[in-house]
Chain A
Amino acid sequence: MLTPSEQTRYQKHLKLPEWGVEGQLVVKNASVLVVGAGGLGCPVLLYLTAAGVGRIGVVDPDVVDLSNLQRQVLYTTGDVGQPKAKVAVGHLQRINPELRFDAHVQALDAGNARALINAYDVVIDCTDNFGVRYLINDHCVTLDKPFVYGAIHRYEGQVAIFNAPLPSGDRGPTYRCVFPEEPSQMEIPNCAETGVLGVLPGVIGTYQATEVLKLLTGIGEPLTEKLLITDLLTHSSQTIRLRRRADAYELATAGLAKRTLPAKSATEAPKLINARELADRLAQGEDIFLLDVREREEYDLCHLDGAVLIPVGLIAATSSNRKRIPTDRPVVVYCHHGIRSANVANYLYTQGGYTNLYNLEGGIHAWAQQIEPEMATY
């Protein structure tokens, strides 16, 4: 059922005979995960919010930078330095308060990708790097989720829906059916290095939002077995017909297995953990070493139950202090807001060879706000 205010808000969609109330309800009951709230993510988020997609997740670890504003139209100059996912959700909520938004201020990585992707119906790939694109592909293929892909280079962009359900009951081509092997960033530069026309992600992201809505409502001919390439300088477009490889599923599972190899440095580097995740893991009885790197006075004001105090300055100074940090179980490093602890985690990883590190996102301040409201704050 649509409420009277929804009937007014979505009036122009309801008038489209192919869409109607039924289409609007499908959209209202759908959930999407937008990975990357940058150039592509901004128009995708704006149009899917306006269209009334019921639940929208936003994943982005970055803060707004002044150099983003040339194309990332969700953000204002005053937002510089703020986390994109949070700023975006705040703005989107004002556009359409009837929807549910989840801000994930973190990178999609090997540790969280499966759970995050599994929680939504459709993934929208708006990332700016191959590592995350292949991660999205491999999880979507093994979880049977479609993902709407977009990517940009200077004046030119690509759009497709990968791993889509086809009318035949089969699944459509995957990203690895087109580009089987993940290229290095050395091979293919990203727009931070090459430059990009600011309007381009607006156009390509708007195409992605269109394809999401077509996929959800079943109208028209979605790009389920096609790759659209468009060049804004000449307005020439190509639509390339694709085929699913017989080994698409095996390519994805092999990709996932490769990522969990211990030698892969990206999985060894310190990871972010938020207060909620940490609280859940501790509540489940997981043996986690809590390392407080603040000063003694701060520790005395408040600390996590069972945390060991080794102030920042002492960690690098003496190896005997470092030997107190275990290597055989997860170590969560925290400070007041998560900055000092990030430096310590990075130091222990690069200089001490620790591969079991997490940095508590937002520090003990976030913990006090989200988990232990009775805790002293300062």
Chain B
Amino acid sequence: MNNPHNVLLFGITRDLVGQNRLAVQLPDNSRVADLMTVLHQQYPTLAGIQSILVAVNSEYADADQILSPTDEIALIPPVSGG
């Protein structure tokens, strides 16, 4: 098994998962979309949020971007409060 991917959580995703960060095992050459599929299986309530910004190494990432275990991944949901 390779090293897990580190995922930082923000906003409502923190509340839904109950943690600030996750370590997620993914096959080699997984994409952002694959990560989301795995997360939705493990935490079905996350699937209720349609728009989530996935940032990889502090940069906006498209769904087909390939992930490496050294990447820092962040899940950023929309926030409504003001």
Interchain CB contact under 8 A, A240 and B77: no
Q: How far is the CA of A127 from the CA of B79 in the complex (A)?
A: 11
CB-nearest residue of chain B to A184:
B50
B49/A238 in contact, CB under 8 A: no
| A183 engages B82 (CB within 8 Å) | no
CA distance A183 to B60 in the complex (A): 19
> What is the count of residue pairs linking A and B with beta-carbon distances less than 8 angstroms?
99
Instruction: Tell me which of B60, B77, B79, B82 contacts A242 (CB under 8 A).
Output: B60
Nearest-CB residue, chain A, relative to B52: A179
Q: Which of A180, A191, A243 contacts B51 (CB 8 A)?
A: A180
Q: With an 8 A cutoff between CB atoms, is A128 at the interface?
A: yes
Interface size of B in residues (CB-CB distance below 8 Å): 22
A127: chain B residues at CB < 8 Å are 82
| A295 CB → nearest B CB, Å | 41
* A196 x B81 contact (CB < 8 A): yes
Q: Are A229 and B76 in contact (CB under 8 A)?
A: yes
Q: Is the CB of A189 closer than 8 A to any CB of chain B?
A: yes
Interface locus among A21-29, A32-40, A163-171, A305-313 = A32-40
Question: B28 interface residue, CB < 8 Å from A?
Answer: no
Q: When the two chains form their complex, are residues B49 and A153 in contact, meaning their CB atoms are under 8 A apart? A: no
Interface of chain A, main secondary structure: mixed
Q: Considering only CB atoms and an 8 Å cut-off, how many residues of chain A contact the other chain?
A: 43
Distance, CA A157 to CA B60, complexed state (A): 18
> Would A238 and B55 be within 8 Å (CB), given that A153-B12, A178-B60 are in contact?
yes
Given A153-B12, A180-B51, the answer on whether A190 and B81 have CB atoms closer than 8 Å is yes
Q: Which residues of B contact A38 (CB under 8 A)?
A: 82
Among B11, B48, B49, B80, which residue has its beta carbon within 8 angstroms of that of A130? B80
In the docked arrangement, what's the CA distance between A58 and B51, Å? 30
CB distance from A123 to the nearest CB of B (A): 13
Residues of A within 8 A of B10 (CB): 156, 229, 231
Closest CB pairs A-B (n = 6): A191-B81, A128-B82, A151-B79, A179-B51, A152-B81, A190-B80
8 residue pairs from A and B, CB less than 8 Å apart: A128-B81, A151-B79, A153-B12, A183-B51, A183-B80, A190-B82, A229-B10, A238-B74
Which B residues form the contact surface with A (CB < 8 A)?
8, 10-12, 15, 48-51, 53, 55, 58-60, 74, 76-82
Interface residues of A (CB under 8 A from B): 36, 38-41, 125-130, 133, 150-154, 156-158, 178-181, 183, 185, 187-191, 194, 196, 201, 227, 229, 231, 238-243
